[in-house]
Amino acid sequence: MPTSSSSLPLPPSRKPSRSVPAGRNSRRHTDPPQPPRPRNSFIIFRCEFQREYSEKVKASNRSPTPEKMLSKRAGVIWKNMSLEDQKKYRDAAKEEAIEHLVKYPDYKFRPRQRSRPKRRSTGAVNRRESIKSLMREHSSGSQIESGSECERPTSVLSSSPEPTTDDYPHTLSHRRSMSLPHLGPYRFTRTHFIEPVSCASSPGTGPHWSSSRSSSASTREPSPHLPAITLRSHDFEIDPGLDAVPFVSVAARSSTSSLGEMVALPECVSSEGMHSIGFSSAQTSPMAPVHESNLSGYFPAPPATSVPLQHRRHRSNTAPSSYLSPLAVVSSSLGNWNGEMTATAAATSRPGFMSITDTLADLTPTATSLPVTSHSTGDYSYFGGPFVSEPSASSFLTLDTEIDFDRTPRRADFAFGIQDLPMSQPGIDSTSYRPGVNGAGGFASSFGPSYELDSYKMGLDAHSITPAMCDLSFQGDHFDDLFYMGHD
DNA sequence: TAGAATGAAAT
DNA sequence: ATTTCATTCTA
């Protein structure tokens, strides 16, 4: 096939500003820099789409940046695109692949292996065993024993002409989680309790792609005969599928957020930069929410005034963030950790708590088993009852907060002074929760002292982990999960 | 520097 | 079955 048919007018600025494409996963910075992978059809489309989009935005006076990123919308459009149109991009991708093959005959895709060892999904791990392993992991502190996640040097085949550079330092000293403080502010990583060891980023495997024409990949010419991307007006809307999105920005990605602060209801939050409540209709111009920069979360609309949440797309989650109760934290933690992603939407059972991440929401909510059901405020009755929703119902809720949901809450994560309180106090339990009157900081007085602990306990209960002892004495650094022994 | 999208390739 | 990484841009 003749490659060009270059009759179609190319957008003049063919070359994006990208000279070093380098995504964060890019292998560009590896020792012997490797050529990037050939783009797949969607990626090609996305590039075009983005270009088109920004042009349109520039031309018209649409909102500058309705979304942080266009990937999602590109995905929607891609899905709605006719197959023939898609095929054009697939062809383009194929072309690029061939080009790539010609250009880098020795290229081989070598994804780094940085994830933790996969869980036996069918393993049906005994809960007790799971707990023990949890204990092991925790008790080992920041040490991680298994070196299995090191990049295997084996990928350098013997066909490599040069002596392999793969004398890997098998040191585990360099961990990927350098940036992840153990005690500090939450970070959300979708790994698990313990950050995986990805050994010493040594990319090694030093083959040898003929480096003579190294940068040519960055001057990649998009295929000229791609179908024009037509952007319709709704492509500029905040969320075409969402008629009205009331959103509440709850505070505080402040790095100092403790769980205690996080449980604060938005209504309670009053410190500076803490919250804003607003309603935005996607039909109207996407006017900024009250504090755009602070917008961090979407509340589901109150049932009366909003669309049912049925039509949420699976992958759709623009919605920034939310804070979870400790209950949710522990639940999701245990869920993940168990390998059986039993998300609990328990957080939604409390007024003001937002839901679980979209990922978790994809899973079967188990909130019905949780004792926290009676906190309807009327305002957000959505949150009032047990959150039995279809999987997609809350999928627009996401959390990109700094919570590491895969980590068991530690002492430092809880509000000041909470660790000194007994586990249960008469009259003060999790159900005595009321929206605080003291604002965000007033955790103890607002929510009852044992709230978080109870919450934590309930999280465990929800997973049929019953406390052998309810003595949550804080020994060491984190909650003594060891006191909770599973039974089954 | 993470993360949003889909898909190809690898594990 | 699950992960990485192609791209780009923002916060």
The angle subtended at Cα A398 by Cα A393 and Cα A402, nearest 5°, is 155
A9, exposed or middle or buried, with CB in 10 Å at 0-12, 13-18, 19+? exposed
A179 touches strand B (CB under 7 A): yes
| pLDDT for residue A386 | 29
A395 touches strand B (CB under 7 A): no
A218 phi and psi, to 5 degrees? -80, -15
**Spacing of A59 CA from B6 C1' in Å:** 28
A400 touches strand B (CB under 7 A): yes
A433 secondary structure, DSSP code: -
- The pair of structure tokens assigned to A305 is 């005034």
Average pLDDT on A454-479 reads: 45
A321 touches strand B (CB under 7 A): no
- In this predicted structure, which of A310-324, A376-390, A421-435, A468-482 has the lowest mean pLDDT? A376-390
**Spacing of A28 CA from C9 C1' in Å:** 18
| pLDDT for residue A67 | 62
Please tell me the distance from the alpha carbon of residue A204 to that of residue A172, in angstroms, as a whole number: 16
A478 secondary structure, DSSP code: B
What confidence category does residue A347 fall into, taking pLDDT thresholds of 50, 70 and 90? Answer: very low
| pLDDT for residue A112 | 83
What would the pLDDT profile of A353-386 be if each residue is shown by its tens digit?
A: 333 332 233 222 332 222 222 222 222 222 222 2
The per-residue DSSP string of A198-258 comes to -TT----------GGGGGGGGGPPPPTTPPPPPPPGGGGSS-TT-SEEEEEEE----TT--
Residue showing tokens 């500076």: A272
* Mean pLDDT, chain A, whole residue set: 43
| pLDDT for residue A64 | 58
Strand B bases with any atom < 7 A from protein Cβ? 1-11
Question: Nearest residue (Cα to C1') for C5?
Answer: A25
Amino acid identity, position A12: P
Please tell me the distance from the alpha carbon of residue A107 to that of residue A75, in angstroms, as a whole number: 28
Average pLDDT on A297-311 reads: 27
C-alpha separations of A336 from A50, A68, A134, A137, A460 in Å: 35, 28, 11, 14, 13
- The pair of structure tokens assigned to A65 is 């940046």
A265, exposed or middle or buried, with CB in 10 Å at 0-12, 13-18, 19+? buried
**Bridge partners (DSSP) listed for residue A467:** A484
A244 phi and psi, to 5 degrees? -135, 125
A94 touches strand B (CB under 7 A): no
Please tell me the distance from the alpha carbon of residue A94 to that of residue A287, in angstroms, as a whole number: 41
Using a pLDDT cut of 70, give the percent of chain A over it: 15
What would the pLDDT profile of A383-428 be if each residue is shown by its tens digit?
A: 222 222 222 222 222 222 233 334 444 444 433 333 333 333 333 3
| pLDDT for residue A60 | 73
Q: Residues 237-266, chain A: which have Cβ under 7 A from strand C?
A: none
What would the pLDDT profile of A36-80 be if each residue is shown by its tens digit?
A: 999 999 999 999 998 888 887 777 766 655 566 789 889 999 999
Closest-lying nucleotide for A111 based on CA to C1': C4
Please tell me the distance from the alpha carbon of residue A135 to that of residue A481, in angstroms, as a whole number: 7
What confidence category does residue A460 fall into, taking pLDDT thresholds of 50, 70 and 90? Answer: low
State yes or no: pLDDT of A191 exceeds 90: no
